[in-house]
Each structure stands twice: as structure tokens, then as C-alpha cells.
Chains A and B, each alone.
Chain A
Amino acid sequence: MGVDEDGYIFAACTFFAKNHPGEMCGSNGLPLTPSSVTILGQAQRLLHLEHPNLCTYLDVIRCKHERIIVVSEVIGKSLNDFKSKFSFDQIMNIGLQVANGLNFLHKQDIMHRTLSDDNILIDNYGYVKLFNYGMHYMTKGGNEIPFPLGLPRYLSPEIILGGGGPSADVWSFGIILLELCIGKLWQNLRPGPILRRILTLVHAGNTAERIAREHDHYDAYKQVPETLRNIIEKCLKIYPSGRATFSELVHDLSALDSKQMVEVKRPQGLLGCKLQVLYHLWQLAGGDIQSELKKNCLIKNSPPILSMPIAILLDGSTIGGKTGALFDRRIAMYSLKLLKQRLSHISPHDFYPLMHERKKEYDAVTLPKIIRERDTEYQFYRLLWFNRLLHGYPHTASYIRAEAEIDIPPLVRGDVWAALLGISGDIEDQYERIDKETPTPTDRQIDVDIPRCHQYCWLLSGERGHRMLKRLLKAWLLTNPQYVYWQGLDSLTAPFLYLNFCNEARAFACMQAFVPKFLHKFFLKDNSSVIKEYLAKFWQMTAFHEPELATHLHEIHFVPELFAIPWFLTMFSHVFPLHKIVHLWDALLVEGPSLPLFMGVGILRQLRDTLLSSGFNECILLFSDLPEIDIGECVKESIIMCRSSPRSISYRRFTKETISKDPMDLIEVPMDVLFSEICPRISLSDFFSLMCQEKCCVIDIRSNLLFDKSCIDGSINVPYSGVHLAQRELRALGLRPQRAIADAVRLNKNVVIASAEHETAQLFSDYLVKCCVPRVCILHGGIQALHANVPSLFTVPPPRNNGNK
């Protein structure tokens, strides 16, 4: 498509949605959704329509006081701005392109209803696009706005009478063609007389002729080629049933059209990028939609004190007060100048990154994610790169994962998540096959929960959002009959819906892939053992990384059952707002299913000071309404914790991962043993690799007799029988062990307890946690197992002079 080098490439128009009079409640007893929210939800579908004869919608913004701003692509100038007349060939060509656009819309079940000469745009090469064709659709047939849709002279008789189906667009199209042939109709008339004239047309035999006569253009009309006249007359039939449809019109017009369209080369460089990307970057570069609207007086801020109502009755009906401003059909236009300047120094080479080329390092990587997401240049590179990778999906899955580890550009987050979850195949078809309509017993609960789920997000709070969320939940429950609806499932679904608002099938596919990976068996009717195991593991991780905090919480009997169930059941989506969840889940999807445990620890770590000084009641209060958490920090810390912890210590039995049968990896213990343990167990193979990397300090708590016979190379002997568990000081262990443990803590080494019998190991590890030693774990199977499997680690200690010091 031809894009002028320095021309305007998008435009915005604005209007007010209807205000609900007084206090009205919907059928569910909750307050009615504001009209602007409904429009916002409805308009989302328009953002995903693409057709060569339609200007792409780029954004719909909801502002204060029910204002809606619609941003859309724009090209060339409108029919209205052309002063010269078109030749009949040109008219037929324009007609064909317009009909193509409208045909596409009607196929999508969208009526235009506002077709007029100022929203048909033509560029320098003669390409035609319809502009702002979605007003009727997004406002639900004009129901959500206070003003009437369309211009009087393009209204068909049946619309004036209060009816009107898709064929009303055909009428408007006919009027447009007629105007192109014989000039503007009913100029200088007020709406009333125009409408009256249109209504009297019902008595005419040939509408087009009658109109031409009315305007003294009958001769001009007769000079129009008969073929074109036929088409106009087919459109201007009084009865809609008699009118042609757009598919017929496209057929007829393409037979007549003889114009060779100029091949326009796809623009290179910046303008070759997708419009959505350009718009996004333009905004990052400081582009401000509202300021231009204000400059053109399309947003006038009347002081609120002047529009105050004079009274409000008990039922909520307001008296007095001015309503919103009048609807102004003008638009504000925007060029890319700002963005071009910002990116002017980027070489044309960079627009086409090669996949196997060594990538440049950007210094922005060290900045927090929130700042990176607002950095124009960084996002520019990232978007180019991600778009390229996503283009190659699923073959590029591993690249995408590697890049997602750094960060995910917000604009493509939905696509990247789907890629990370391995979504591929014909998901639409699969989703179509699921019955989302037939009522089920859980519907009631779902209906109760949905209007309470992330309602600050306008997309999710609208009627459309509610309906889709319900469909998704029903579909998921039906496809997973082993599971039941647990409250919180709605919150879990919300982020997927939010990112795939116009792609329900993908939202479903993501959900379907996410649950088994992260929440396997969580939604069973009896999920108590799954949740108990998860919480026990979480508690062990807390002891592992935050021993002091864990000891305090143990002592005040503040157990995770009291606060952490919603955290893990919803993967934190019930606890945080969406803009935080997406960052949390970005990390989750890359790092895998053990990360949430450490995220829980990360949250506790942020609240550490408060928790340490709180008793049981204060803790309950604190978690009943969680204070602000710095998610960036929490994610960073949890990833560090997760990566530095041996894999086996976060092992859970209820996962979908295949369990290795190798005794070296085996770590499973009965549930009741697990619940009694404060410190996690480490598997032999993890222990072996830690030993090889010299990342652990081994404490052997057997008696010194056994130790002297044979021990793990480099281990320290602290005979259990000599330890006073009541004395919570490392000093009590003796100088050498104390120094060894202090060194281990300083160097971030893991402290592994090895013993002959498990009970003593457990008691001793608890003791170490109470002494605030982090990273304490127990060697699974103890010395015997290790000796049986890895005898090479054992050695005979050098004889000591005076026994233990």
C-alpha cells in the first residue's frame, strides 16, 4: 500500500459514550457496566480485522468521563476532499474497492452504517480504504452512544423508519456512486428536509432518476454509462430485498473495472514495519494521541464545576448538570515524524536481523523490566527480533525461550506465551468442538465469581469479557472432566484472556497447556494432599533460604495453609493485579514449575522485617490484604534462588514430569514424613554434582568412631550425641565446625547433613535452621546409600591428635 513518506499515517476521533441515567442494575443485581467499557470490549474485535480496503484499527482508548478515543490507520485524502470529478472508469474502480471492503465486513457480520464521502479514503496511487467503519459495531448499533449514527443524506429509508439490516449499506453505497457521477446531493439542506426527501422516494419508480431530476442533473445522469447506471439502480431499490448484495456488486464491478492498479513497492525500513508496531513505538517515543486532539479542539475540557448536577435523589437519579459535549466528526491526524527522529540513527541494515548472526548487546538489558518496556529503541530491536522468531515458530521455539528469558516485549506477549507453552496446530477447530453453551451445575458459581475477577481491568469488566471468561471456564471444565471448578480458576484464566482477548481459542489452548505444567492435579475434587505437599515444599524452601524467618513463623505457628493456598492455586493471579502477574508469569513460563515455590519465598522475603516483628494476629491481618510487593525484585530474587538451589530439593510427587527410577535421583518419601521435615532432602546425584563443584559443606553427624573408619572426603564430623539442641549457638558445636559452617554461609555453599539414621539428621538440621544457617539440606538415604552408590567419595580421615576439639 502506498504510504506517503512524510504523510499522516494514523488518525484519531473521539466521542462520548452514553451515560446510564440514574442507578440501574443489571439482571445480576450488580451495577450496569458503563457504556464506554462495553464499547471498549466490543471494539477489540475490530483491532484484529485486516483487509486491503480497510484502514486498520490501531487502538481504542477509554478516558475519563466516558470518553472514547478511536485510533486508526489513515491514507491519502477522503472523497470529500477531492474537488475534481472522477472519470467513470475511476468511479467504477473506486466503487469496486469500496464494495470489496464492505463485502468483507458483511462476511464478518459487521454493518458499516456510517458510510459517507468523508470516510472513504484514496491515496496517490488510487488505492481506496474505508476509514472508521466500526462505529455501528462497537457501539452495538448505536445503543451505547447518545448521538445518531451516519449522515442524513446517506441514510436509507428503512433506517429512518427505525429498521435497517446490512442492505442499508448497499443503499449508502448507491448514493455514494450517484454522488460521484452527478455531484453532491441535497447540499445546503438541513437534516429534516433531507430525511423527508429520502422518505418521499418510496413513491418513485426509479429512485436514482428521481434524485437526479430533483437536482436538475437528469441529463448528466443519462450520460453515465448504462452499466454503471444499472449498478446504481440496483443499489437504490426501495425494498431491501430488491437490492444487490455486496458479493454481487463486487462481481459486477470487477467485470466492468478495467483500471490497472499501479504496483506499489512495499516500503522499506521503518515504514515496512507493521502498523501496530509503529503505533506502539510511536507511543513509546512520546507520541500523545490526546494532545493533538486537544490542539484541534476535539477534546475540550469544560471545567467540572460547571457541569455539576444540582441534586441527586435517593434512587440515584441526578437532576441538572450538563451532559457530555457534542459529537464532532472531525479527526486529528498524526505523522511518524517523532518516531523517525528517534530512530534516525539506526542503519537500514538493522531492520532485517539475521537469525544466526551474533546479536548486539544492548546496555538497556541491565535496567529494570518496567523501564525496558518503555525504551523506544530497545523495544524496536526486541520487536523486530521477536517478530522474526515468532514468524518461524514452532521451529524457533528454543530461540524464543532463550530470548524470553531476557524479557518479552508487551506488544507480542500473547504470542510469546503461546510459543512458550508450545501451542500449535489447529486450535480454533479444537476449541470450536467444545460445547460452551449448554448449562452445567457449576454455571451458578462461575456467574457469581466472574463479576469479581480482576474488574479493574476494563476489558475484563465488560459484558464481552464476562461472556468470554465464562465460555473459557466452561470449555476447560468440560475438557478436563477429572477436575472441578475451584474458586480461583477464574483468576487463573484472566491473564490468558487479557492477552488473547480476540483469540479465545488461543486463550483456551494456553490455559489447557498451563495447568498440567504448573498446577497438575490442583483442581481435583479432593486436592488436599496435592496442596499439602506443595505447601510443605514451600515451607521447606522458606527454611532453606530464609531460616530466621522460617524459625519465627514456626514458633508463632503461622503456617502456610493460612495464607499461601490462593498464591499457588492461582499461581499468584488472585493476589496481584494483571500488570504484575504478566511479569511474574513471564518468568514462570521460562523457568518452569519449581519457580513458584521460590516466588513465595521471594514475597516473604520482602515482608521479612514486618513479619519478624509480628505475632500471629498481625501476620493474619497482614496477609488478609497483602501490601504492595515489588514484583521486579521478587522475580529477580526468586530466579536466583531457584537456579542456585539443587533441583532435587524442590522435588514434588504431584507433577507431570516423568520420574527417574535411578536410585541416585530417587528422593520420594512418605507424605507424613515430608510434613514433619523442616529441611528438604537432596538426592545423591545432586549431592555428587555439588561435591564436584565444591559447592557444599558436608556435616557428618555419626559418632567419631564410625567417622574415623570411613568418611566423605572433606566432610566435618559433629557427633550428634554431643550436640545440645537447646543451645542455639553455633559456637556450642566447637570451633572447627563453627568455622566451617560460617565459611559455607559466607560462600553461599549448601550445608548437607549426612548421617546413619534419618531421625538424628532431621533433628540436627532443624537445629541448624534455628541457628539461622541458610541452605541446610539432608542427604537422602544418608551415608549408607551414598556409600552403596558412590563409594569413590569416601576416604579415611587423617588421624587426629586429640580427638574432637
Chain B
Amino acid sequence: MTAETIQNTIKTFRFSFPTCTNEDLLFKLEVPVEIPHAGSTRELVQRLINMFHIPVYLEDELNEKLAEFVYEETKKFHNERDETLLNKLKNGELNVEGTVKKWEKQFKENIVEYAEQKGSSEEEVFAAAYHKLVHSPALETILQVENSYATTVIDTLKNRDEDIKKLTERQTEEMEEKVRLLNISSTEEDINELATRHFEEQSFAAGRWGSQLDALKQAQRARHRAWLMDTLGQYHEWDQALHTPENSPLATFCPSPLAARSAAVPRPALEESFTIHLGSQLKQTHNVRIVAMDMMQLCTVDHNNPLDASRRLQTALSLYSSELSACVVVSAGGPSQGGGTPLAALQVATAAADHHFPALDAQLRDIEERLKEPVEQRNISVGRGKPGVAAGDVFITRHSNLPDVHLVFHLVGDDAALRAGDITSRHPAMLGLRNVLKAAACNDVSSISIPLLLRHELSEETTAAWCLRRAELVLKCVKGFVIECGSAGGGACLATIHFVAPPNTAPDLFAALANLLPTIFRTSNPVKAKTKPA
């Protein structure tokens, strides 16, 4: 608050001492000294003595004089500045109201005693409640409830799709019929009229389903939250002895035939993992894993599959902990531009109601809204012609209903170079990746999945050599970023890093990629049992 206004000044220290032959003739010493003086005056005296060959018998005197000089000048410096301020105040030259308001704001926004809102926000209370409950015997019930909610939504979605499909079929038939009878019993006008009616019907149906879905999700969310808070109350009453909550909404569902489905989930066949050490002197341990799969596999869940339920369990347990999981997806454009394949896939994946955060659409809309101004300002300041987000920008969505991740970092980047050409470590996408890792480390993300090639699928232009080149660049950059994050934050952040190669990576290419890892990272030595000579 105050130091911004402090401007240092230079004052001249004058000292004189007699010449050796004539007592009246004086050597004069003038030294500019910065006020307030940051260093030690005694050290300055030593430098003066050395530089100007001042006789040592003057040392004590010089020490005393200089200290006094600095003390007096500093005092004068402060007093003069304050006097000017106070005089201005007396003469009414200062904006008193503005200053007071500024202080008031500072106190109100930063110090508990003066803050308006005390205690935790509703969000935090719910977070604490949920976190407590998922770490209690109620966990299983909660997951089942959430699962059945999700199933309901998915079923409704299915019904909608069917309904709309039927409608479309009927309309197509009708239209064909009409077209066939063109100029016989119907006119062009009739057809136009019919088309209009069809369109209205379609939008009406879509609207009806939409509102029905919204209502369903809203109701689910409200009911779920109320039930959770309620259960927490009981949990406190019974203390630790809670087994299964009695009033669970499960009663209204028929138990889903969980075990009926086959348990075999196609897990990625191509994967390899390493434990690595990073850092030159102080080593930090991380796990790195390379895997060939679709990034969206982390986000899709089959609600009828018991194995997937266990995947959900992981994220539910750690949702409000400080061990978050995240993934990075390369997005074609900003939050509103549809974003290309990953975003569309994410839309599908997040179809079920999110009981903790706003729905994906709402989040994206909110981000779009709030991004507009800062992005525009930025674009103006760097002189960028195109409006909207640029490559390297990142937006972040939060999810509670995905199986493997809590956070999705959408890294904007879709240019020809990124897709197929060669990029350097100074490419915006790499800088964006650095920001992602930094944000992840600062916000307690302990596990993050990164697209190894910064693209999600292979195509003809991506040769094996290109893939290796790109992978090497990404790995090396990530290594640097992680070291940087580790030294800034401290502690074992980003404990696990997954590098995700496109799902259609050929086995031999994958093997080559996996071989890159131990050459770039130092893998840790296995612990060997000591064999003592007999």
C-alpha cells in the first residue's frame, strides 16, 4: 500500500578532514548516498576508506558521521514526504473520500473482521458434506443413486431420440406422399405449408423434450442435494454407526441389474508405465504412463457396467480432495465454436445430470461470456487481427460425473502446423501446455493426461518419423515444465502423468514411442535386495 509511493532520493554526504601539512586546509569528501539506505553504513565506510585512501584513524569518526547522516536524512525524507501529504490534506487538495473508500474496500475484502460474508459459502458446505459422506458407509448408496439418476436421464434421452426419429419418419412419409401427388391433388403451396408445419412440429417436439429433460435434471439435482444434506444430518446423529441410509431415493427405483452385464471392459492393450526422478539435486518422483487410447475414453461411462461404477467411485472419492485428476484435450476453437470432435464427444459423455457443477453447456456459455472482455483486451494489446480465443489459450470445465477425470483443460490449437507440421517449443500450443501444467500443479491436480502428439487421431500425413519427432518434443517440454512447477510449488504435485497416444497407433510405433520415455526421463532404479557375501 505504502511502498509504491516511496521514491528513493539521493543525498550528498559531505565529510572533510585536515590535510597533513596544513591544519586549515581540508580534504573534502562528497559521496552521494541513496536515502533510505538499504545496506549497512559501516560497509559503505570501508569502501570509502579503500577507494579514497582515507587514513584509518578516521574510521570511527566516519562510521559515526555517516550513520548519523543516514539516520537524519532518512528521518527527514519520511517527514518531508508526510508533511507534503498532510499539507495537501489540510488544504483540501486530496481526494479524501477516494482514499478512504480504497482503504475501506481493502479491509472489507481481505480481512475477516470487516468482511461482509463470514463463514463458508453454500458451495463449500455442500462440498464438505459430500466429501464426508463419500468417505462413510453411505458411499455405495450414493453411487447407486447417482447411477440410477444417470440411467434415467440416459433413458429419457433414448426416448427422445426415438420419438424424434419416429416423428421424422412420419414426416418424411407424409412429405413423399405429398410430393408424389404434386400437381395431382396438391400444389406447391401445400407442400410449403406442410414443410412449415413439419418444422414447427419438430421444434415443438425438441422443445418439449428439452424442457422435460431440464426439469428432470433440475429435479434430480435438487432431490439429490436435499437427500445428501439430510443424510449428513443423520450421519452426525448416529455418529459412526451409519450403515446404509434408510430414506434413500433408491427405494423408488427398481435395483438395476448391475451384475447381469459382462464385466469385460476393453481396456487399452498398449500401455507402459515408468517411475521417474526429476530434478538435478533434489529428486522428485513421478509416475509416467504411456497409453494408446481415445482421450474420451476417460470421460465416457457405461452406466450399466459394474466395472465402470468402480471407476466412478475413484472420482467421487477424490472430487473434493486435493488429489484431482484432469485431462488435456486439444480443442479446435473457443467454448462456443463447437470445438470439434473432443468437445462434441464430451457433450455426449456429460449428458447425465451433474449434481455438483453446472451442465457443460452452461459452463461453456459462462466461460464464453467471461472470456470475451479479457480476450478482446489481450487481442488489442498484442495486435492480433482475428477476434476470439487464440491458439494456446486454455479454458477449463469441471465435472463430477465422469469416470476418470474431474477437470478438462481445453487447449485451443488448430492450425496446420500443429496438426501435421513441425512445431518448436515456442509454439503457442506448447506455451499453453505449460500454463496447463502450472495451473494443474497450483490447484492440486495430482494426475493429468496429456495427448502425446497434441492431436487425437492419426491420419495419412502423420508418418512414424513425424510422430516420434512430435512425441520427443512434447515429452521434453513436459519434463521441463514439470521441473519448473515442482521447484515453484514444492511437494509432490503432478504425481502421475499419462501420455495418451491416438487409439489407432500401430504396436510397433507405440513401442518406439514408449522407448522414448526412458531416454528422456531418468527412470528410478529398482530396489535391489542386497546380497551379502557369505
Please report A residues at the B interface, Cβ cutoff 8 Å: 23, 31, 34, 62, 64-65, 140-143, 146-149, 152, 157-167, 190-192, 195-196, 199, 202-203, 238-241, 300-321, 326-329, 432-438, 454-456, 458, 461, 574-578, 609-610, 625, 627-628
Contact = CB atoms under 8 A, between A and B. Distances in A.
A164 B2 contact: yes
Nearest to A330: B112
B110 A146 contact: yes
Contacts of A311: 367, 370-371, 393-396
Contacts of A149: 1
A161 B84 CA distance: 10
A321 B43 CA distance: 47
25 contacts: A141-B2, A142-B2, A157-B86, A158-B85, A161-B86, A162-B1, A162-B2, A164-B78, A190-B104, A192-B100, A192-B101, A199-B100, A202-B89, A240-B78, A305-B324, A309-B396, A312-B394, A319-B370, A320-B370, A326-B115, A433-B46, A458-B490, A574-B281, A625-B522, A628-B277
B111 A329 contact: yes
B266 interface: no
Contacts of A627: 277, 522, 524-525
What is the interface residue range for chain B against chain A? 35 or more
Interface string B488-519: 11110000000000000000000000000000
Nearest to A575: B281
B459 interface: no
B435 A310 contact: no
A328 B283 CA distance: 36
Contact of A192 (B46, B104, B445): B104
B111 A305 contact: no
B236 to A, nearest CB: 18
Given A327-B111, A327-B112, A437 B319 contact: no
A162 B106 CA distance: 13
A146 B109 CA distance: 9
Contact of B3 (A142, A147, A310, A434): A142
A158 B322 contact: no
Per CB-CB distance, the 5 closest pairs between chain A and chain B, nearest first, are: A165-B78, A147-B110, A314-B392, A303-B320, A577-B282
A582 B94 CA distance: 57
Most B CB contacts (10 A, CB to CB) among A140, A313, A329, A438 go to A313
B528 interface: yes
B5 A148 contact: no
A625 B521 CA distance: 10
Nearest to B100: A195
Given A310-B366, A326-B111, A577-B281, A303 B127 contact: yes
Contacts of A190: 104, 114
A657 to B, nearest CB: 31
Nearest to B444: A304
A146 B487 CA distance: 23
Contacts of B431: 314
Instruction: Please report whether the interface of chain B is mostly helix, strand, loop or mixed according to DSSP.
Output: helix
Interface of B: 1-6, 39-40, 42-43, 46-47, 50, 74-75, 77-79, 81-83, 85-86, 88-90, 94, 96, 99-101, 103-104, 106-115, 120, 123-124, 127, 131, 277, 279-283, 319-322, 324, 363, 366-367, 370-371, 374-375, 378, 390-396, 398, 406-407, 428, 431-432, 435-436, 438-439, 442-445, 484, 486-491, 522, 524-525, 528
Given A160-B103, A435-B50, A628-B283, A31 B488 contact: yes
Nearest to B5: A162
A302 B320 CA distance: 8
A461 B487 CA distance: 9
Contacts of A164: 2, 78, 82
Given A240-B82, A300-B120, A456 B487 contact: yes
Given A166-B78, A313-B375, A625-B522, A199 B89 contact: yes
A306 B131 CA distance: 13
A307 B528 CA distance: 43
B455 to A, nearest CB: 19
B443 A307 contact: yes
A238 B103 contact: no
B127 A306 contact: yes
A434 B42 CA distance: 11
B107 A148 contact: yes
Instruction: Please report whether the interface of chain A is mostly helix, strand, loop or mixed according to DSSP.
Output: loop
Given A158-B86, A162-B5, A578-B281, 11 more contacts: A141-B3, A146-B110, A158-B85, A162-B99, A196-B96, A303-B320, A312-B394, A314-B431, A326-B111, A327-B110, A577-B283
A306 B322 CA distance: 11
A113 to B, nearest CB: 9
B90 A148 contact: no
Contacts of A315: 378
Given A64-B489, A314-B432, A304 B324 contact: yes
A435 B46 CA distance: 7
Given A318-B439, A456-B281, A302 B124 contact: yes
A383 B59 CA distance: 41
A314 B393 contact: yes
A5 to B, nearest CB: 33
Given A313-B374, A437-B47, A308 B100 contact: no
Nearest to A62: B490
A503 to B, nearest CB: 14
B89 A161 contact: yes
B488 A329 contact: no
Given A64-B489, A161-B85, A303-B320, A147 B398 contact: no
A309 B439 contact: yes
B5 A165 contact: no
B508 to A, nearest CB: 24
A142 to B, nearest CB: 5
Contact of B114 (A191, A202, A313, A578): A191
B419 to A, nearest CB: 19
Nearest to B434: A316
Contact of B370 (A307, A310, A576, A628): A310
A435 B50 CA distance: 9
Contacts of B81: 163, 165
A240 B124 contact: no
A649 to B, nearest CB: 24
Contacts of B104: 190-192, 195
A303 B103 CA distance: 30
Contact of B491 (A64, A148, A433, A628): A64
A64 B363 CA distance: 28
Contacts of B114: 190-191
Contacts of B88: 161
A659 B490 CA distance: 49
A141 B528 CA distance: 54
Contacts of B280: 625
Nearest to A607: B525
Contacts of B113: 329
Contact of A308 (B86, B108, B375, B396): B396
A180 B330 CA distance: 65
Given A163-B81, A306-B124, A311-B367, A191 B103 contact: yes
Nearest to B379: A313
B2 A432 contact: no
Given A311-B371, A314-B390, A329 B110 contact: no
A575 B528 CA distance: 23
A167 B396 contact: no
B317 to A, nearest CB: 13
B447 to A, nearest CB: 13
A573 to B, nearest CB: 9
Nearest to B334: A311
Nearest to B378: A313
A673 to B, nearest CB: 35
A71 to B, nearest CB: 19
Contacts of A438: 47
B395 A326 contact: no
Contacts of B75: 165-167
B23 to A, nearest CB: 29
